[in-house]
Structure 1
Amino acid sequence: MESSLASREEEAQVSTSSGRKKGGWITFPFIICAVAGIYGSGYGWLFNLMVYLIQEYNVKSISATQIFSVGMVLLTLSSIFHSLRPKPCIVRSNICESATKGQLTVLYIGITMGAIGLGCGRFNLATMGANQFEKPKEQAIVFNWYFFTGFVGIVLSSTVIFYVQSLSWGWGFDLCAGTSFLGWTVFVIGYFSYKHDKLRGSPFKDIARVVVAYIWKRKLPLSDRDEDYYHGSGKIQATASFVCLNRAALKTETDFRPDGSIKSSWKICTVQQVEDFKTLMRIAPIWSTSFFLSVTLAMHASFVVIQALVMDRHLFRNNFEIPAGSMTVIICVSSSISIFMTDRFIIPIWQKLTRQKSTFLQRIGVGHLFNILSMAVAAIVEARRLQVACDNHLQTVPGSVVPMTSTSTAMTPLVIAFAYYASSALTGLIRKDTSWLPDNINNGRLDNVYWTLVVIGILNLGYFLICSKLYKYQNPEKDSEK
């Protein structure tokens, strides 16, 4: 805490001596423009990637959902130069030429670069924007604008950019690249107005140090005296939870030099570092439930686009066709509505009925329940869609696609990015052991896949309830007030 205050005072002195104050509201327009650029361009290719793979790379629909889990410049080049993608399928036939290894290499490199840029920029901009301010109220305003701008960027990319891509993939990717470049340019212009935080090391290194120090001292007897543990500049006391880990902070004669400094930070840790590691261990079970939740949501988000491709998306007497990737607009809108309803109605009603403030874990539990219900709705709707396709021997099912996604994807914002990899593996396992996911989903049983996700969701909810029961809040009264 003292080092943090000293660092802030030092930064303030540097700003004053240079005659120009760093940070504050002057940085806000630059950062928000960068957020708009990265959301508008990133989601302009990300959410429509499966459609591009199916239509331009002749990738089978279910395989496209797996590739979807994995540089705008390379994607743009692949859409412009025919040599970078396979020849189109022969009209009215199932004869399609697969992409070569070279073509797939260019595609995968482009996807990887784009994913890295989207992931790094999206999360770091939020933290950087908040760090430009000192007051928590101002930081909260920045976060609100960050999410609002991101939402607007997703909606615009899922409508305007997707429509341009439906006319020409080259123009669409050019628009994504231009949007990204514009946001980057504005961000760079504001470089000298930003307040830069000093590097303070990686928290993952502290985690590793606790593990290594514990292994070194795992056979040493524990002590009941607080002075036998290394505190460094901190004053926190070692707790009794996960008491065996306290050995990592246990003092020995071989840990210190004659001047009192420690010889190696990998053989002894501070009590604060040990307690931080314990905190991670406490929340790890709760965190793991969100991973399994996100796997089901990731699979659903992928299959929604596949379903949209085989459904009638025409509006206004067939004068306009909704792009399949634009289903993300409905996801964003329904997610925003569900968040508003939960915050303004469900939680207040809960508090009136129980006369208690809802905890964070109870709110997460509500999210798990809504996820299960959304998967069940998706399964019922898909079963009905298959019945219509079977009865009429249709390749494209009549009827609007909008009610399906607006009802069954209400809790999508909880998706965690890396869960897409696990969902890809689960999709591959289902394809291998069942006949539910053929290339033409009209001949499969996607509803059974959704019911499988319902079962996984129920098991995960049970696991979450067990973890919640065992979890102990550090400060229940303070957490309740928050």
Structure 2
Amino acid sequence: MAGLSLAAGGWTSNLIVFLINEFNMKSIAAAKVFNVVNGLTTIFPIVGGIIADSYLGCFSVIWISSLISALGILLLLLTVVIDALRPLACGDGSSLCTSPSTNQYVFLYVALALASIGVGGTRFTVAPMGAYQFDKPKHQTMFFDWYIFIFYLCWALSTAFIVYVEDNISWAWGFGISMACNILGLAIFLAGKRFYRHVKEQGGSPFVNLARVVVAATQKWRVPLSEQTQHYYHDPSDKTTLVPTKFFKFLNCAAFITEGDTKPDGSISNPWRLCTVQQVEDLKSLIKLFPLWASGLLISTQLVMQLSLLTLQALKMDRHIGPHFEIPAGSMLVFILLFTCIAISIIDRILNPFLAKYTTFSLTPLQRVGIGHALTILCMAVSALVESRRLRVARSHHLQGQKDAIVPMSVFWLLPQLALNGIGEGFHFPGHIAFYYQEFPTSLKNTSTAMVSLFIGIAFYIGNVLIDVVQRETGWLPDNINDGRMDNVFWLCCTLGSINFIYFLVVSSFYKYKNMENKPNNVPSK
């Protein structure tokens, strides 16, 4: 995971600058491509999880995806090595610059697609495979904390050092180092094959079983149900006898045995007409999780908006440390990653042990997510205040209308909002992953952690829609942000986030954990 994260951070963190400087894209257009790429890297894990659950298993999905990402980075390397694969160089993507040809666009987007799909196939498939090496939920939760820690730490290192190489030495060296890290990570992963406890595939899609529940229940919706367990079909290999719950009672029809549903030997004659009680309860558990999952969309959209606009802010601010060193604009992301790592370390090594030793209270995954929600809203408010001050400084120096003008304001004014962003992620990101891994049906464990990635990926596209709407309906986001009102965009995110936080508090207050004994540290339920 360390090698793959170093590789991915090396080409994604500086992508906006790469598109502006090497492909002559305008700033807002580059930010939207950045969102699309990040959306792909965070939506594709759900596909990787389904393939791992249904057909190939985690191990195969991880090594195949790692090869695909290496190929994508190789194609990106070729775009900067071969002059014919990119347009003629110009200043900053102004209208006077040469736009890429159709073939250049195609090659670029194929490279980005392969690299993104490869990252997506590994990022959240490594997580369930790692957790599967442990038996206790407490240890699995600790693993997720340190999995995110390594993921963010290595991303921070690549954002700081590989991005510096790209900006100050050459893009070829930067992409070359990224590809080498990818290959090294894959080699280390393959070398450990014989030591792993492998996650077995199901031999068929568990999502087909969920679809069968809906079809079977629909066919039998008029059948009067019984309260007796023996009237429902149970998997013969299941040693426990589940009692159908009353939640979404209509779905119980799918497991209710009617004439002709079973063969003489007791097996199911038509799986689209009769399902097991376990399959019915698996679908119910997903339905219960959906309202909480939906709350992750807007918290992620807030973070996406900040990530999309952060580089644009940094490009228009003073990034010098001393007379000779200038921080690359793409490296500002490193502060979010570092504060996330610091927060995770404090939570896992100090806060949780303190609560366990001196109190009877321990943070549940949902409580960690709630704290992350609150910190993210505060982050948006601070972002709006800092951007408002940056615009006042720009106006006081009469910099409007000057596309290359740098506002005489240190880029370190962005540090408080980046710290709040990182600390918030340290709470809600591992909290989300631990919660879904704990609460998802056993047959969908590989898909569970990818559900977090899915709402982050959707959020990148929501962020693009939000940028389009703001650009179309307001003057807040022109290509030269010194002429706009980006502070209003952050206030809009803050408002949407506050509404979403209220929604989260309501739906989480009604949620009951599936298995009390499997809660981290055996925390009492709400």
TM-score by length of 1: 0.85
Change (3 A) 1:92 1:477: closer
> What are the equivalent positions in structure 2 for 1:1-400 lying under 5 Å apart?
35-69=1-35, 70=37, 71-89=72-90, 94-132=95-133, 143=144, 146-167=147-168, 168-200=170-202, 201-233=204-236, 234=238, 235-316=241-322, 318-340=323-345, 357-394=362-399, 395-400=405-410
Q: Distance in 1 between the 2:131 and 2:319 partners? A: 41
Paired position in structure 2 for 1:7? none
| Mean Cα deviation higher: 251-260 or 341-350 | 341-350
Query: Match for residue 50 of structure 2?
Result: none
Alignment CA distance shift 1:465-1:314 (3 Å): same
Residues 261-297 of structure 1: CA deviation (Å, up to 9, x unaligned): 1112222111111111111111110111011110111
* 1:434 aligned residue: 474
Q: 1:382 to 1:352 in 2, by over 3 A?
A: farther
How many residue pairs end up in the alignment?
A: 447
Does 353-362 or 387-396 show the bigger shift? 353-362
Q: Report the Cα distance in structure 2 between the residues aligned to 1:478 and 1:184, rounded to whole angstroms.
A: 33
Q: 1:462 to 1:281 in 2, by over 3 A?
A: same
Q: Distance in 2 between matches of 1:341 and 1:194?
A: 29
Bigger mean CA offset, 113-122 vs 407-416: 407-416
The 3 A distance-change label for structure 1 pair 90 and 338 is closer
Shift of 1:39: 0.5
Q: CA deviation at 1:88?
A: 2.0
TM superposition shift of 1:140: 6.6
Q: Cα deviations across residues 50-72 of structure 1 (Å, max 9, x unaligned)?
A: 11111111111111121112210
Distance in 2, matches of 1:391 and 1:245, equals: 65
Instruction: Return the letter of the residue paired with 1:460.
Output: N
Cα deviations by residue, 1:159-213 (Å, 9 ceiling, x for unpaired): 1111110021111111111221222233334445544443224332222222222
Q: d(CA) in 2 for partners of 1:145 and 1:468?
A: 25
* 1:94 to 1:392, Cα distance in 2 relative to 1, 3 A: farther
In our comparison, the structure showing a higher alpha carbon Rg is 1
1:425 is the counterpart of 2:391:
no
* In structure 2, C-alpha distance between the alignment counterparts of 1:114 and 1:300, rounded to whole Å: 23
Is the alpha carbon distance of 1:138 and 1:227 closer, same or farther for their aligned partners in structure 2, counting shifts above 3 Å? closer
Amino acid at match of 1:83: A
3-state SS in 1 of match to 2:339: helix
Does the aligned pair in 2 maintain the 1:229–1:250 contact within 8 Å? Answer: yes
Per the alignment, residue 454 of structure 1 pairs with 494
Shift of residue 145, structure 1, vs aligned partner: 5.1
Displacement of 1:92 in angstroms is 11
Cα distance in 1 between the residues matched to 2:195 and 2:365: 37
In the aligned structure 2, how far is the partner of 1:158 from the partner of 1:191? 30
**Contact 1:39 1:154 survives alignment (8 Å):** yes
TM superposition shift of 1:472? 2.9
Opposite residue 461 of structure 1, the aligned amino acid is F
Q: CA 1:127–1:79 in 2, change beyond 3 Å: closer, same or farther?
A: same
Q: Which residue in 2 is equivalent to 1:464?
A: 504
1:406-435 CA distances to partner (integer Å, 9 max, x unpaired)?
Answer: 434232454823321221122112112211
Deviation at 1:345, TM superposition (A): 7.8
Q: Secondary structure at the match of 2:317?
A: coil
The more displaced of 348-357 and 109-118 is 348-357
- Provide the C-alpha distance between the structure 1 equivalents of 2:135 and 2:359, rounded to a whole number of angstroms: 37
Distance 1:98 1:92 in 2: 9
SS in structure 1 at match of 2:478: coil
CA RMSD of aligned residues (A): 2.9
CA distance in 1 between partners of 2:140 and 2:292 (Å): 27
Q: Tell me which moved more, 223-232 or 189-198.
A: 189-198
Please list every run of 5 or more consecutive structure 2 residues that lacks an aligned counterpart in the other structure: 38-71, 400-404, 430-452
Query: Where in structure 1 are there 5+ consecutive unaligned residues?
Result: 1-34
Q: For 1:349 and 1:144, how far apart are their aligned partners in 2?
A: 17
Q: TM (normalized to structure 2)?
A: 0.78
Change (3 A) 1:365 1:350: farther
Structure-2 separation of matches of 1:449 and 1:357: 36
Give the AA of the match of 1:62. I
Query: Is the partner of 1:399 in helix, strand or coil?
Result: strand
- Letter of the 2:90 counterpart: C
Aligned equivalents of 1:336 and 1:190: distance in 2?
26
